[in-house]
Chain A
Amino acid sequence: MASIIRIEGLTKRYASGFEALKGIDLTIEEGEIFALLGPNGAGKTTMISIICGIARPTGGAVVVAGHDIIRDYRGARSAIGLVPQELSTDQFERVIDTVNFSRGLFGKPRDDAHVEKILRDLSLWDKRHNKILELSGGMKRRVMIAKALSHEPRVLFLDEPTAGVDVELRRDMWKLIGELRKTGVTIILTTHYIEEAEEMADRVGVINKGELMLVEEKTALMKKLGKKTLSVLLAEPIAALPPELAEWDVALGADGQQIDYVFDTQAERTGVSSLLRRLGDLGIGYKDLNTRQSSLEDIFVSLVHQEKAA
């Protein structure tokens, strides 16, 4: 697979002195779905804004489809479709007019057949003569996607496509993105929901405080994220772990009052029930159980620790 976007040493310092991006290096392959995961204020939107031409980089370089975003902004921008986070539309325009407008703005001659296809794919065809202000929030977001796709971009940026969207619409959006991918469009989306990345992406990048902390195949990342900890609160404290428990990845904690067992939720056998059975066999009583998912926060914390240690 050829790369469609190459980002090298990208930095952004705002006039206030705030460093939004601290040297990002990233390559996006053509045809993949890449999820950029990170908490609010991590730099996701800043990064997208720079690639799309809305903000200026302080340092570094970005090449899109072989075109430098500054020197050859026409070539780079022609290859990109952007759906920003905010629902910004020309409320008084009709759906079909605003999509035609976008296509022209990106330098393409009018193409009724193409626009019709996009509107049909997005279930907007019946609403094409409606003014945008008459549409629901979900429909408006579809209009923004239609605008972004109107000029046949090779890369589509979706900035928080499901922020503030209800569950049903979120499912719709995921389905839609899956269908778009079949057309060969490279999709880069930002999100702060792990499950969203899990549902759709091929690769996931985790960004925090302007730094790309890791970029991994989704399956590899999900293994890390898919770990859970089972805590068994014991009825009576024990001095040491009995050797019979050695086959589980267990640790004794809280002054011998608790056993922590880390297990993989994706595994065929989690080992939870067999562990509890063994505890029973050994006559170790317990009064409470709880399980805890390693959250995105945990991943960030451990990533930050790794960075400091390195």
Chain B
Amino acid sequence: MSLRNFHAIASIYKFELHRFGRTLLTGLLVPVITTSLYFVVFGGAIGSRMTEVDGIPYAAFIVPGLIMMSMFTESIFNASFGIYMPKFTGTIYELLSAPVSATETIIAYVGAAATKSLIVGTIIFVTAHLFVDLPVAHPFAMAGFMVLIAVSFCLFGFILGIWAQSFEQLQVIPLLLIMPMTFLGGAFYSVHMLAEPWRTVTLFNPIVYLISGFRWTFFGRGDVAIEFSLLFIAAMLAVCLGIIGWVFRSGYRLKK
């Protein structure tokens, strides 16, 4: 842990936000439109026939899942792209030759990506209020949960961006692993709605614990105990930080 070059952190953070700024319209409009579409399809058309899940109106029930899904995607995409692009264009030379520590690099890149992810999450949260009556049982826990999720998935995205050697590799993990795991992780249904053995199988999917935990902050109950959810986030953070520490020590795919 070496933390001294705050000018560098500010510069990278600003650079990254500026990069997001160039695609501001699509970056912010897309989550609003997507959320609205989900509400029309799931909340309106299907939800009207389902009424309640675990005592919660279906349209409200899917909100935490929707926010989580968008935040997973946004975090991984922004963080992985942020570090992959300099590698791709060659501008990474400047970062590597600068008096910047690993800690400072992570804070700047992950901080910027997490910021955007949190903005998107908040926009969806606000948009959802236009469609449903949405109580929040634990507002502070909800905010804290969003921050934790944004940071852990941005760390994961950062690792992905360092690992990837092509645009295809950059896409393959989010599309082939994270997306299916999110859909099967109870974003739009309760694990209790599944029959055995799928109910048990689902419990091996770590995403279940994350979505369930976030749902708990809204409705005071989830598919699994909140303690398990926190444990999973903590584990994910620890694993990502461990890998990143190793990446910088070994110079993996950064330094020859």
Contacts and interface: CB of A to CB of B under 8 A. Distances in A.
A73 interface: yes
Contact of A86 (B4, B14, B19, B90): B90
A93 B96 CA distance: 20
Contacts of A106: 7-8, 98-99
Interface residues of A, number: 34
Given A54-B93, A90-B91, A92-B22, A105 B100 contact: yes
A271 interface: no
A102 interface: yes
Contacts of A109: 7
Nearest to A55: B256
Interface string B77-109: 000000000000111011111111100000000
Given A104-B7, A105-B8, A88 B89 contact: yes
Nearest to B12: A105
A30 B7 CA distance: 28
A306 B90 CA distance: 40
A40 B89 CA distance: 22
A82 B97 contact: yes
- By DSSP majority rule, is chain B's interface helix, strand, loop, or mixed? helix
Contacts of A104: 7-8, 10-11, 14
Contacts of B89: 88-91
Given A49-B256, A55-B255, A104-B10, A73 B99 contact: yes
A56 B98 contact: no
Interface string B1-33: 000110110111011001100100000000000
B4 to A, nearest CB: 7
Contacts of A49: 256
B197 interface: no
B11 A101 contact: yes
Residue among A88, A101, A105, A106 facing the most chain B CB atoms (10 A cut-off): A105
A89 to B, nearest CB: 7
B251 interface: yes
Contacts of A147: 94
Nearest to B2: A74
A88 B11 contact: no
Interface of B: 4-5, 7-8, 10-12, 14-15, 18-19, 22, 89-91, 93-101, 251, 255-256
Interface of A: 14, 49, 52-56, 73-75, 77-78, 80, 82, 84, 86, 88-93, 97, 100-109, 147
18 contacts: A53-B97, A54-B96, A54-B255, A56-B256, A73-B99, A77-B98, A80-B97, A82-B97, A88-B93, A92-B22, A93-B18, A97-B18, A102-B94, A104-B10, A106-B8, A107-B4, A107-B5, A108-B7
